[in-house]
Amino acid sequence: MPFSHHSHSGQFCNHAKNTLEEMIKRAISQKMQMFALTEHMPRRTVDFYPEERDLYDEEGLFTLFDSYYTEAMRLKDLYAPQIEILIGFESEWIRPESHNIISDLQNKYPFDLFVGSIHHVKTVPIDFDRQMYEEARERCGGTDERIFEAFFDEQYEMLQALEPPVVGHLDLIRLKSDQPNLSMRTWDGVWKRVLRNLEFIQQYGGLVELNSAALRKGLSEPYPQVDICKVCFLATSWRKYAVTDELVPQTFVQMGGHFTLSDDSHEIAHVGACYQGVLNALETSGINEIRFLTRSGVEGIKGRTVTTSTVAASSLREHDFFKVPT
């Protein structure tokens, strides 16, 4: 059952296109069975993106998010007979105040999920354009290796503070780098940080999204790259998982880690885009199953709860989604 845990609309995101309803209709036409709405959380004025600065003040951005939630609830009920809609948001981990905003949103609204993401390093956006990436890189010491290390360190802080149910584009830092298809294994310090972050995600039970946006943006592999997906752990910290006293190489999945699917769509043309390439990466990585979130129908905290379901990776190609002309 193809699905996506990560999407945006031009109605509530200035670097996206199409209305929220148009995004849902596109997902329905693509035979998707679950589509998560995850608009960006509002931010303080100091962290506005360039396209927002002339359109909103801080209060306006927070009001826009309130409007998003109201519309998302309306559309969830309207299209319930055709598709399951989960309502959430994408977090921004920029500075200490970010945690306060996230907590306030979670207390205000009964979200189904949220995507834990990093789009900044040293408070500077790293995926908006090359100029900002270079500015962030200079703040980290001037090399891709150093900014990659800083990215995964800030991601680790976010993971520890939030334990997001879905971890967004885990290696997004590749996008504007000098060699975006370079393996994370290239630099020992970077690779150790990747392993540390994966270990923590596995421990609290988060889902790592296989994000197809990297493919439509010209990268050779989705986020995260195949080397990360099929990573084998040999570090002594994994001894507790070995059957004997000897260290046994095991993959993230064998350790209990799980992946899911996201298209990170920002317009209707992105819905489900490049999922064929994601399935190729699944097969190359040896991932046998993926998980997805679904509303359980059982009343829980704040009136709703979601559960995690599993689907065999081999069954995905047989779904009607892949028979729909693109």
- As a whole number of angstroms, the distance between CA 202 and CA 219 comes to 26
Q: What is the pLDDT of residue 297?
A: 57
Q: What is the pLDDT of residue 198?
A: 92
Lowest mean pLDDT among 34-38, 156-160, 252-256: 252-256
- Indicate the helix (H) or strand (E) that contains 21: helix 20-29
What amino acid is encoded at 257 in this protein? G
- As a whole number of angstroms, the distance between CA 72 and CA 89 comes to 11
**pLDDT-based confidence at 168, cuts 50/70/90?**
very high
Question: Mind listing the domains of the chain with CATH numbers?
Answer: 3-323 (3.20.20.140)
pLDDT tens per residue, range 249-275: 556 666 667 899 999 999 999 999 999
Gyration radius of the chain over CA positions: 19
What average pLDDT does this structure show over 60-77? Answer: 96
pLDDT tens per residue, range 183-214: 999 999 999 999 999 989 988 999 999 999 99
End-to-end CA distance of the chain: 17
pLDDT > 90 in the chain, percent = 70
> By C-alpha distance, which of 268, 293, 313, 325 is closest to 26?
268
- Indicate the helix (H) or strand (E) that contains 105: helix 96-108
- Indicate the helix (H) or strand (E) that contains 258: strand 258-262
pLDDT tens per residue, range 272-311: 999 999 999 988 988 888 999 998 655 433 445 788 888 9
Residue 295 dihedral angles phi and psi, to the nearest 5°: -70, 130
Residue 16 has pLDDT above 80, yes or no: yes
Residue 323 has pLDDT above 50, yes or no: yes
Instruction: Identify the bridge partners of residue 56 per DSSP, sorted by sequence position.
Output: none
